[in-house]
Amino acid sequence: MESQVKTTKKTLKKAKETSTDPHIALMCLRSTPIDSKLQSPAELLLGRAIQDNLTRRIQRSNNSDDVIDRLQYRQEQQRYYHDRSCKPLANLLPGQHVRIQDPTTYQWKPAVVKEKLEDLPRSYKVTTPPGRELRRNRQHVREAPTSSNDELSSYSSSMPSNPTAGPNETNQGQTKPQVTTRSGRSVKPPDRYGFTGH
């Protein structure tokens, strides 16, 4: 279904860019055959070919049982390829810090899980920092990443304060700018063949 919505939006966008009547563009989209063995959605709905400005070879109408079997086969294939890369998401606990996706900006914002809604599958009620209560599907709720500051402080405290200098140590007067990731960890480029730069 999401793919059909995407195709329809692209068709309307192209019709607007080319100053074409959007109704004709949608009619051509609906009169396009689904695949080589199935008729168009309009033919399956109306039982006859609709009149449009597309040139095509008139095909004999398929048996309704064959059409249903072919549609079910396509759905099973789509389900197989979709489920192959999917995994069930873990349940969230009340009071757990999470990030929710803003539907307008698609940015992930902090929130706290209030409860899991039993009557709606995979839905959670979350509270944002301003105090608003929102209902979000599990795919739009992610577990908040743990702060790496504690890890960095414990790691730096375990390191010796005065490390011994190696025999091929470079000049201490030259300091390179420290590169950090989004989570705050420092990036050290690999030292290959004696070259320290990229």
The 10s digit of each residue's pLDDT in 110-162 is 999 999 998 888 899 999 998 899 999 999 999 988 754 344 344 344 444 44
Mean pLDDT, residues 9-14 taken together: 93
pLDDT recorded at residue 18:
93
Predicted TM-score (pTM) of the model is 0.45
Q: Of 16-20, 77-81, 113-117, 178-182, which range is least confident?
A: 178-182
Per DSSP, the three-state class of 126 is strand
In the DSSP assignment, the letter for residue 179 is E
Per DSSP, the three-state class of 44 is helix
The residues, ordered by sequence, that sit 6+ positions from 129 with a Cβ below 8 Å of its Cβ are: 110, 111
Tell me the two tokens of residue 143: 């577990």
Reported as a pLDDT band with limits 50, 70 and 90, residue 1 is low
Q: Are 125 and 138 in contact (CB under 8 A)?
A: no
Q: Are 86 and 110 in contact (CB under 8 A)?
A: no
Mean pLDDT of the chain: 80
Tell me the two tokens of residue 33: 């055959």
pLDDT recorded at residue 37:
80
Distances (CA, A) of 105 to 101, 140, 182: 8, 13, 19
Higher pLDDT, 193 or 133: 133
